[in-house]
Amino acid sequence: MLDSLDMDTAMDKMSLEPRAVGAAGDVARCLICKERCSGFQPHIWRKACMTCGCSSVDHTPGSDVEDDQRMGRLLADSPYSHLTAKVKGGGGLRMYKRNRMIVTNPVVSGKDPTFNTITYDWAPAGLNQKLAMQYMELLPESLRPVSGSVGSLERRKQLLHQLPSYDQDPMKCQSLASEEEITAMLLFVKQYKQEVLGVGEVALPGESAALKEAGMLRTAKESGQPQGHTSAIGLTPAADGSNGTDGMTQYRCSGCNEEVAKESPVVYAERAGYDCALWHPTCFRCSECNQSLVDLVYFWSCQKLLCGRHYCQSVWPRCSGCDEVRGVLQMFCRPISRPTSASQPPPGSDLALSCLC
């Protein structure tokens, strides 16, 4: 059942006024058109620029704060809310506790020692620097989120593309017209947060038992259960003397099915089962668009990894004009004519022929 507070908040916050992409006061330039675009001018309902026609994602993305607010909103009220923190004076809003990594390497040149400092805008949480660097080195250079690099910019573009804010927040939807549609949207989001949404964890092969036990202890703590009493909520901590290892001697990637080196970091997905699946860092991808899953955020559906965008449009069709998914009761977009059973598009398709978009 949806809380009335959720409904009131969504109604109060809804706004149809488009806002330019980018930090306040900045001109959001198109990354494709470059000088030919004078700056992002949002279309009244399409997620595109009226100046050059390119997608809003192709324009210079916003600030770290905006990114962390969007991610915090996504992870809030989910089993992964421990990756967020309450915003002081924010009325219950949560901010993503993004893990950054600063690596300092000495440079031997001349008498005076100097240091080369590299900042990663994001790194997997809970790792020592050695293992985190091993993970980064397994990624293509174009995807390493080094601050100020192409990889950092690509990460921000993926955040906007894979996890659209209008797939999780009714106030970002331009075409919701009734309380019924808003309620349907909120229920849909609430359901996928509890049943589908996940965040991958990086560890060495064989460390799944340690991840599982850490997850059980965290769940027990959040449920108010004292340590050592996890069985009261259906949890059984490791008690086989395995010291956080699973005892296996060979591992295969669930993506490419190739063997995984025991000293090489892999990605685990809790919803897929710690004992059932692991991935090479480069294989942890959306099964639809084949993009690497940004910040390891995944949606587990039908035994497949999906990004947020492709999970949502696997459930409800997405309009190719305004890029928003349809509602449970009726299309979020304005229909040109009432669709018949023969013309009703199936889930996962776009609604270009059925919308004014």
**Cα-Cα-Cα-Cα dihedral sign, residues 312, 318, 323, 326:** negative
Number of neighbouring beta carbons within 10 Å of residue 173: 24
Specify which residues 279 forms β-bridges with: 267
Which of these, 304, 275, 296, 306, lies nearest to 127 by C-alpha position?
A: 296
Element (H, E) at 220: helix 208-222
Which 3 state secondary structure label does DSSP give 306?
Answer: strand
Q: What is the pLDDT of residues 118-162, one digit of tens each?
A: 999 999 999 999 999 999 999 999 999 999 999 999 999 999 999
pLDDT of residue 23: 40
Q: What is the per-residue pLDDT for 343?
A: 42
Domains defined for the chain, CATH in brackets: 101-146 (no CATH), 197-308 (2.10.110.10)
Compute CA 208 distance to the chain's CA centroid, rounded to the nearest angstrom: 22
Specify the pLDDT at position 266.
Answer: 98
DSSP letters of 50-109? Answer: TTT--BGGGB----HHHHHHHHHHHHTTSTTGGGEEEPTTSTT-EEE-PPPEEEEEEE--
Q: What is the dihedral of CA 106, 107, 112, 114, to 10 degrees?
A: -60
Regions in the chain scoring below 70 on pLDDT? 1-27, 61, 110, 223-247, 327-357
Predicted pLDDT of residue 239: 37
Cα-flanking dihedrals φ and ψ of residue 82, to 5°? -65, -15
